[in-house]
Amino acid sequence: MKRRTLLLGGVAVGVGSLTATATKASINADMSLSGDLRGVVPAVETNIDTDPSDENTLSTHTWEFDFIRIDEVVTDLSVEYPDGTSFDEVTNNEVTIKFENDDGDLVNIAIKDSNYDKTVATFELDTEQKIFESAKIEIEQIENPDAGMYNAETTFVTDSEENTATGELNITSD
């Protein structure tokens, strides 16, 4: 009989044994759980794709968020870019917001009102939706800053909290 101890994500410990003979096999598993049973929640993964990524050029920025879960309806969101980025050419027609619903589908989120102020865009949302696993924001006609690596932030606002995700923005020289 071989006895194995398994460590699963630093949360659960299982001990089991396997007995085998020529005519039968049996498995005996004794499980004991210790520690925080909620497990490890992965950090929100934020990816920002720029097309084109050339400096000082009008571009489409696509934000993709994975492992994001917000259990309350998101009422507002804001996108904050580094100095040198410009929303001057952006209107609501150039912005698409999608949240994953409880069926696993990305659904369009309507914009009720917006404010574009230098490097920050704020959107009041008109669709009552939580985020179940992922979200996507696409902004067309945004002007890229000078070449460099920057951090940009999106903040999702509910009635009781704000959740901020940071992504890297890679802008290249012409």
Residue 33 is predicted with a pLDDT of 40
Domain residue ranges of the chain, discontinuous segments joined by +: 2-33, 45-171
The highest-level CATH class for domain 45-171 is mainly beta
Adjacent-strand bridge partners of 170: 149
Contacts for 45 with CB less than 8 Å, ≥ 6 apart: 65, 66, 67
Q: What is the pLDDT of residue 174?
A: 72
Structure confidence at residue 42 (pLDDT): 65
pLDDT tens track, the chain, 174 positions: 433 333 333 344 444 444 445 544 444 444 444 444 344 456 789 999 999 999 999 999 999 999 999 999 999 999 999 999 999 999 999 999 999 999 999 999 999 999 999 899 999 999 999 999 999 999 999 999 999 999 999 999 999 999 999 999 999 997
Please confirm whether the linkage preceding 52 is cis (ω < 30° from 0).
yes
Compute CA distances 78 → 12, 29, 61, 74, 123, whole Å: 39, 50, 14, 11, 6
Q: For the chain, how many helices (H) and strands (E)?
A: 0, 13
CB 43 within 8 A of CB 117: no
Closest by CA to 114, choosing from 135, 85, 139, is: 139
Strand runs (DSSP E) across 118-161, as ranges? 120-125, 134-143, 148-157
- Specify the DSSP class assigned to residue 55: T
Q: Is 38 exposed, middle or buried (0-12, 13-18, 19+ CB in 10 A)?
A: exposed
Distance CA 157, CA 72 (A): 9
Decide: helix, strand or coil at residue 139.
strand
